Amino acid sequence: MTAEKYVKTIVKKVKTSSKRKKEIKQQLLSDINSAVNSGATLEEVIQDLGTIEDMAQGFNESITDAEKKRYKAEKIAIILGIIAICLILLCAFIRWLLPQTSPIETSSTFDQATVEGVAKNVIDLMDADDYEGFRAISNDTMQKFCTDESLKSVKENINSNWGARGSIGNYYLAEIKQQGQKFAYCQVTVTYENTTATYTLTFDRYMRLAGFYIK
């Protein structure tokens, strides 16, 4: 066994503050060094000093109440520190999971005019029943699920005959950040001859349609 390992194991078992442990370690290593320089072998010195348990017990038996209090306070501080770090990490993770909304004007990724333009394009495509064109401006997931049948049935659920388009209302836009990804959010109400439809659209950073909802 090396002197370092011997001393390190002793110090680990001593119930005192880390400052005192460091001091004990330095002093024990210094004493072992002095003994070896005086001609003894390391094995003889370690045998003379005693077993690790006896050495640690010797120190533990003599620890003052003040030192015990410092050791306890240090342990509590370390535990509280670990708990605080875990809580911070948990909060950061939850924050990362939950969507955060901010005005589109402040977005560094999306441009208001571009989002409005693409949103109008989606409305035009739905009005023209151009589902192929609709899928062409959608992301992979949307392309998979927005079949002709599903898009037709979405319109028919609102009204079987929408009639001619009247007017497009104001565009309500925002940027949404969730799980490290950014999306442009758009909500707009369009009036038709026989019904009104509110479109809720989501676009990814490449301005592909990533979410579509009509009511």
Torsion of CA 201, 148, 123, 134, to 10 degrees: 80
Q: What is the DSSP secondary structure assignment for residue 98, as one 8-state letter? A: S
User: Residues 67, 146: contact at Cβ < 8 Å?
Assistant: no
Of residues 27, 109, 153, 181, which one binds another protein by CB under 8 A?
A: 27
Q: What is the amino acid identity at position 118?
A: V
Position 6 contacts another protein (CB under 8 A): no
CA distance 102 to 115: 15
Position 31 contacts another protein (CB under 8 A): yes
Position 26 contacts another protein (CB under 8 A): yes
Q: What is the amino acid identity at position 152?
A: K
User: Chain-centre distance of CA 190, in angstroms?
Assistant: 38
Position 168 contacts another protein (CB under 8 A): no
Of residues 65, 66, 97, 179, which one binds another protein by CB under 8 A?
A: 66
CB 75 → another protein: shortest distance, Å?
A: 20
Per-residue contact flags (x/-) with another protein for residues 33 to 62, judged by CB under 8 A: xxx-x-----------xx---xxxxxx-xx
Neighbours of 6 (CB within 10 A): 20
Q: Which residues bind another protein (CB under 8 A)?
A: 20, 23-24, 26-31, 33-35, 37, 49-50, 54-59, 61-64, 66
